[in-house]
Amino acid sequence: MTSLRSLPSVDFLLQQGSGLIRTYGRPLTVRALRETLETVREEVRAGSEMPPIERILKLTETRLADWVRPSLEPVINATGVILHTNLGRAPLSKAAIQAMLTVSGGYSNLEFDLESGKRGSRLIHAEALLTQLTGSEAAVVVNNCASAVLLVLSALARGKRVVIARSQLVEIGGGFRVPDVMKQSGAKLVEVGTTNKVRLDDYEEALSGAPALFMRAHRSNFRITGFTEEPSLKQLAELAHQHGTILLDDLGSGTLLDVTRYGLAHEPTVQESLEAGADVVMFSGDKLLGGPQAGIILGRADLLAKIKKHPLARAVRADKTRLAALSATLLHYLKDEAEREIPIWQMMAEKPERLRARAQAWQAWLGFGEVVPSESAIGGGSLPGETLPTFVLSLSVKSPEKVLASLRKRTPPIIARTENNRVLLDPRTVLPEQEPLLLTALAEAARV
């Protein structure tokens, strides 16, 4: 049996592995060496041979690399789901990324008025762009749409009755439920109508008695079809205003462009909501807008003033990098270049013929696979059930799950999907600069 007396000391290993200190720092290296030595000690006690010094140092280096590897890392999305919630939703435009780098590399005028030399407000940085684009009187940006809804209800509906259709008491990803948010805000939920039918009379009847306001929650992640009925947003706005109350519209995804141009079902735009008479509109920044994660609140200046002053507004405010990326994204719309510069719109505008050509190029490079028609999904709780025609590279392999697992272990990881026991890769969501890495990984994974 190997004697533990031959186990090298930490100090000796530090001398032999000085490169580890230069790369990882002394404290972390010492900790890793001690843990590696403890593992080796247990293995020797169990009857294993004492490993050479080089092996101990290699094990320590592997341990250190695992410790410092970021848990959040970029991946290649070959699923064809454009707004993949689990993969970070909308990729940012080059201008948005540069804007984040510019303001985060040093100091900025986040809350400093350059003209007066006094304290300013971070709320102004995206507000002008949002009001120009939508015609809204005012705007507020917070960290996501869920917090936007909570803030609006807390500021405008605390202690008040909020009338909403039963069919709109939705739950989105992560267990976020509209009724729970209302309860948290201090608002009193008033359900009207049935699961499939709600009429304008239902809303009017709910206005009798204590003061109330209306809210619509857009069903962005599911559909109700068949024997259904509900009043239009314009009808709700007119009824609310006739009774001296307000209408809140939670659009969820929110879009500034008409998606029907891509052959998709109509999705209410932010502009349409405001034009219909909604007093406050809320939507996400990282879905159909194509920007960073953010919650955007638009509407009447007097109502937005109350929202800005609410204590919760500070708790959910946006940081400088979010505001910079959002502003750069909004500029693409203002300059009428969104389809050219924002990745999700580039992906949605991609023609099937172009996608087939890319998939065929992959097939030719690899020397295997089959190019077949398929469907790309919008995803991200947007346009439920809507798809876009695409062409995918279909791989027939012994074990699709093993291939998927192998692809996920690559650097960067590659996320694909399976269908009918075949691995499918959709070029719609693979960025052009990612193709060489994808093809190299596929060539190796196909051997699994």
Burial class, 119, CB count within 10 angstroms (exposed 0-12 / middle 13-18 / buried 19+): exposed
Which tens digit of pLDDT belongs to each residue from 325-380? Answer: 999 999 999 999 999 999 999 999 999 999 999 999 999 999 999 999 999 999 87
- pLDDT surpassing 70 at residue 222: no
- Per-residue pLDDT reduced to its tens digit, 6-54: 889 999 999 998 899 999 999 999 999 999 999 999 998 888 888 999 9
pLDDT for residue 220: 62
pLDDT recorded at residue 174: 59
**Cβ-based neighbours of 132, under 8 Å, separated by 6 or more:** 334
Nearest Cα to Cα of residue 291 among 219, 343, 347, 218: 343
Domain assignments of the chain as residue spans, ordered by start: 4-68, 76-84+344-445, 92-341
Mean pLDDT of the chain: 91
pLDDT at position 6: 82
98-112, 145-159, 192-206, 251-265: the lowest-pLDDT one: 192-206
Q: Mean pLDDT over residues 271-287, rounded?
A: 96
* Across 245-273, average pLDDT: 93
The pTM score is: 0.90
Tokens 């041979």 locate to 49
Q: Is the pLDDT of residue 117 over 70?
A: yes
On whether the CB atoms of residues 147 and 322 are closer than 8 A, the answer is: no
**Quick one: how far is CA 67 from the chain centroid?**
26
* CATH number listed for the domain at residues 76-84+344-445: 3.90.1150.180
Q: At residue 265, does pLDDT exceed 90? A: no
Of 228, 262, 253, 270, which Cα lies nearest the Cα of 386? 262
Residues 6+ apart with CB under 8 A from 410: 437, 441, 445
Same CATH topology for 76-84+344-445 and 92-341: the answer is no
pLDDT at 422: 94
* Of 288, 299, 281, 365, nearest in space to 329 by CA: 288
Residue 10 CB neighbour total at 10 angstroms: 14
Structure tokens at 334: 């203002």
Evaluate if residue 248 carries a pLDDT over 60: yes
Q: What is the pLDDT of residue 198?
A: 85
Each residue's pLDDT tens digit, 141-165:
999 998 999 999 999 999 898 888 8
What pLDDT score was predicted for residue 17?
86
Domain covering 92-341, topology: Aspartate Aminotransferase; domain 2 (3.40.640)
DSSP line for 61-86: HHHHHHHHS-SS---EE-S-EEE-GG
pLDDT tier at 172, thresholds 50, 70, 90: low
Percent of the chain whose pLDDT exceeds 90: 73
Confidence check: pLDDT of 1 > 60:
no
Mean pLDDT of 171-178: 66
Identity of the residue numbered 305: A
Residue 314, strand partner residues = none
